[in-house]
Structures are given as structure tokens and as C-alpha cells.
A and B are shown apart, each in its own frame.
Chain A
């Protein structure tokens, strides 16, 4: 049942140089891929664009056809209260469950603000969130 709480995120390899993001963004536009949320991680000489798309399977297929280096990664999306302490609640639950957060980013969608989390064991994380009485979004909620 936890499966429904996993969101497929697109992870795209991007050169770390002027114009790279623009060329990837152009491919996204040409493929008619709409992003709901994204962030960019930078490392030595390259970047990883992490994005939540409407239809990740279809988006992934289209991008691969355009020779874009892309992977799907499981993340969870947790509804967060729009007030001080909102982030604390989630982080605290993860800490108690001994789940390490690799990275996280936030967005405000149709169902209010939420945080995308990448953890070692996303299914266990979703369980922990639910046990604490909070809500994980499903792909259709985004």
C-alpha cells in the first residue's frame, strides 16, 4: 500500500556550463513536458536537475529519445503545514525513524505546500509519515 506514496522524480545529468540548462529546458519544451517542481544539485563540473513532471514515464521516454541522460528516482512528497515548525515535524519523524535524508526540496501545489524527500528507504519513510498522522501525496495529487 506504500507503493502509491512513491513519486517518480526525473534525474537529469546536466553539463555545468553556460547554456546547458537552456538546452535541456528547450528539449522539455519541445517534448511538451511540464514540470511541477524541480531543483538543481551542483557537483564538481556537472549538475543534476531533479524534476517532478506530470507523466514521468512518458517524459522519461521522450527525453531518452532525445539522447538526454535521465533516470527515474523514487521520492516521497509530504504535505507540510504552512507555519513555523512545519519542516521540523517532518525532519523529526525521519530522524526518529533513523532515515537519512539525501536531499529535499519544497513546492506549493494544488493541495498546499509539500516537501519532496529523497531517503534511503522511501517506503519506510512513507510509513513513518503516516504513522505520525501526516499525509503523503500520491502522483495524482501533484
Chain B
């Protein structure tokens, strides 16, 4: 079953021609009208005329998260703010967050992408979809919400938290599909078991769209066997729009709609373009984005591209499940966290030294992040509650800045490891 068979099953050659035309006009208009990208191309010594075929994309300069931060909030937008109908915000590496804007067409493409994706895993207007991603500045909740509404499914916008109530609603409303992070679904299963609820017996759940954090085939097997459902990988980031791409029912990679995105995989060191089947860092060009164009964006996710047509009949290239990152970004309960952000918060707190360690663990299927920081001798007080107040204040600052709950452990001055240059400050004990 297809949502948009014309677009999804377009013959490969036609799709490539279409991608080339989109790329060419994108580059021409950016060179003409977008100061940021014009300068970037000038510096790289590339002109729109140099793009003569799709593969010439490799001549174009890369965009990075640093570019997004440096041009915060809207300097990279190609449209005036009055045309923007939605903003979303995600974490930046430090200082400024990443802001993305959407006009009506951008929202429409994003929604279309998810309508195709949901249809490709067999979700229809007969389904009731529980969206247990966060709603708000995070793209997960609203993205899935609009996608599910587009295909006519009933949407339960339950967002995150209050797991018992989520399980009750799932039973009461005969929810058939859930969209959330894989670790949250495992947590839900644990909570359900404590409530005496058996997913197979007491719910009508049959499918899950799981993403926003790394997971593995092992976790898939655990979820599917434990809950008696089919679990599908979903991929996207706020820079692209939000969650956009999923596996189809064949489950042989994620379909990256060719009319919306052109993907390359490059060597993380040399940035040389790698061929299909070779593992590297994904670089993505969004072909239809209007408000906030993305050309050769280094998304820092490691994957492999498959060019062959899928058995499902869809012709767009697919990527393998994301196998890692080329930077130090952590994903905590679906939220992106950079160690540099943790450092930023600590640096503004005079009660602790600049030395720190981040420990990430999984407790009862949920990510738990602990930050160890050294108390400054001047800040120490004999009163235990004063020291606890320092810990609480840093925890609250972290929560405000990172959007995720952090446990702070205060340590003796000098007891954390010192590094010269790039330190190993993160211990990730999670097992995927």
C-alpha cells in the first residue's frame, strides 16, 4: 500500500533527474538570495554553473551545526518571519540552541513524508495512534501527530510522562499504534507488568514507530517478543524538519524519499564521498525545504546507503539503521545532549570547578544521566543542607538548559580526572 505511489515508486532514472532539477534550482536560488550560502559557495569557489549533474553535489560546501548556531536565530532563513508558521527548537552544542522554521509548504512536506512512512508500515485510517513523543519545542510529538492525522488515523496526543495513565488510555481507546522512544516503550512494558496489564491480552497494540535514540536489533527482538507487536525504526532530526523516514514492512533500511532529500555518505576523516554499501557519515541535502534550506548538512550520524530498489516497490535510496555518531552527542531519553552544554552550565556555577564527568546509565529501561562535579573549597560549608542546595541548583540549571533531568554528584576537589586537550569525560554504560 502506498500513500503517494507516483512519488514513492518513480522509476529510478526519473527520480534522479528530478533530484538534479531540484538541486540545481535550490543552489541557484540560494546563490542568488541567501547571503549565508552565497558566501559559503564563494569561499569554496563553486558557482551554480558548476553543478551539471546530480553527483556534482559533491562540489558544494558542507553545512554544520556550528553554521546553525552562528546564524541563530533566523539569519539562515530564506523567507521573512511573517511567512513562518511554526518554529521548533533543539539543543545546540553550546550557547545557542538550534532553531528551525517552517512555512506552510515545509509543514506540508514534513506531514506528507510521515503519511508515506506510516502507510508503508501498514498504518491506515482504521488505526488509533498514541503519540508518546514530547509535544512542544521538540519535533517528535507534533510531527507524528500531523502525519497520523493526514492519513486519517485517530490520534491520541498523550506526549511523555504519566505512564500508568498512558497504559489505561491505550486500553480504553483500543490504541493500535504507538510512537515513542524504544526505551520508553520497554519502560511502559515494565510498568504495565506491575499494573497486571498484559499487552497481548489487554491491549490491541500491534505496531510501534520507535526512534529519537539509538537502538538495535536486540532491542527490537526484546520489544517484539515481549509485547507481541511489530516495531519499526523511524529517523529524522529537527534540522531536516523532524522525524521523517521509516522502514517499510520489509524492514530492510529506512526509505529516504528521493523527491525530498538527496543523501550522500562521506568518509568522516577525509570527507570524500563514499559509494553505496560503504559505511560513513551521512550528508543530507533537503530538496524541497523553503524556509530553512539545508545543503550538504553534516548530520553526524553514521550509516550506509543502499541504492537497490526495495522489495516493497519503493525506489528511493535507503539507509541502514544509524550505527553511531561522529561527534560526542548523547541522546538521553530522546533528547540530544552535548557534553559542551553540561560544561557551559558548570562554568556559570562558581561553586564547582571546571572538571566534570558524565555518566549515562539505563535504570528500569530509562536513561539516567549523572554529572559529577568538584565542589570548590570556598563553596563548601559545614552545613550539609548548604551543600545539598548547591547540588539542587545545578540540577535545576541543567534541567532548564538541557531539557532533561540530570543527577548531580558533588565530589572532592581534585578527585576527578584531569585531561590535557580533549578529555574522556563521558562514560556511557547503556547496553543497546
A residues contacting B by CB (< 8 A) are 9, 11, 13-15, 20, 41, 43-46, 48, 50, 64, 67-71, 73, 102, 118
Contacts and interface: CB of A to CB of B under 8 A. Distances in A.
B382 A46 contact: no
A71 B381 contact: yes
A70 B380 CA distance: 8
A41 B384 contact: yes
Nearest to A75: B382
Given A15-B411, A69-B412, A69-B413, A43 B380 contact: no
B201 interface: no
A68 B412 contact: yes
B375 to A, nearest CB: 6
Contacts of A20: 412
Nearest to A24: B412
Contacts of A71: 380-382
Contacts of B137: none
A64 B377 contact: yes
Contacts of B382: 9, 11, 48, 50, 71, 73, 118
B381 A45 contact: no
A69 B384 contact: no
B313 to A, nearest CB: 56
B414 A44 contact: no
Contact of B380 (A9, A13, A102): A13
A48 B384 contact: yes
Given A46-B410, A69-B412, A13 B383 contact: no
A67 B383 CA distance: 20
B414 A46 contact: no
A50 to B, nearest CB: 7
A71 B379 CA distance: 10
Contacts of A44: 388, 391
Return the 10 tightest CB-CB contacts between A and B, nearest first.
A11-B382, A73-B382, A45-B409, A67-B414, A69-B377, A43-B384, A69-B380, A69-B413, A15-B412, A13-B380
Contact of A43 (B375, B377, B387, B414): B387
A45 B410 contact: yes
Per DSSP, chain A at the interface is strand
20 contacts: A11-B382, A13-B375, A14-B412, A15-B415, A20-B412, A43-B387, A44-B391, A45-B410, A46-B387, A46-B409, A46-B411, A48-B382, A64-B377, A67-B413, A68-B412, A69-B380, A69-B413, A70-B380, A71-B382, A73-B382
A11 B381 CA distance: 8
Given A45-B410, A69-B413, A13 B387 contact: yes
A40 to B, nearest CB: 11
Nearest to B409: A45
Contacts of B384: 41, 43, 48
Contacts of B412: 13-15, 20, 68-69
A50 B387 CA distance: 15
A114 B381 CA distance: 25
Contacts of B387: 13, 43, 46, 48
A64 B377 CA distance: 9
A125 B413 CA distance: 33
Nearest to A73: B382
Given A14-B412, A70-B377, 8 more contacts: A11-B381, A13-B410, A41-B384, A43-B384, A48-B384, A68-B413, A69-B377, A69-B413
Nearest to B370: A45
B384 to A, nearest CB: 5
Nearest to B376: A69
Interface string B369-412: 00000010100111110011001000000000000000001111
Nearest to B384: A43
A118 B384 CA distance: 13
A31 B355 CA distance: 27
A46 B380 CA distance: 12
Given A46-B410, A64-B377, A102 B383 contact: yes
Contacts of A45: 391, 409-410
Contacts of B377: 64, 69-70
A14 B410 CA distance: 9
Nearest to B377: A69
Nearest to B408: A45
Contacts of A64: 377
The listed residue with most A CB atoms (<10 A of its CB), out of B382, B388, B411, B414, is: B382
A20 B415 CA distance: 10
B352 to A, nearest CB: 11
Contacts of B383: 102
Contacts of B410: 13, 45-46
A102 B381 CA distance: 13
A44 B408 CA distance: 10
A15 B377 CA distance: 14
Nearest to B391: A44
A20 B413 CA distance: 12
Contacts of B409: 45-46
Contacts of A102: 383
A20 B412 CA distance: 9
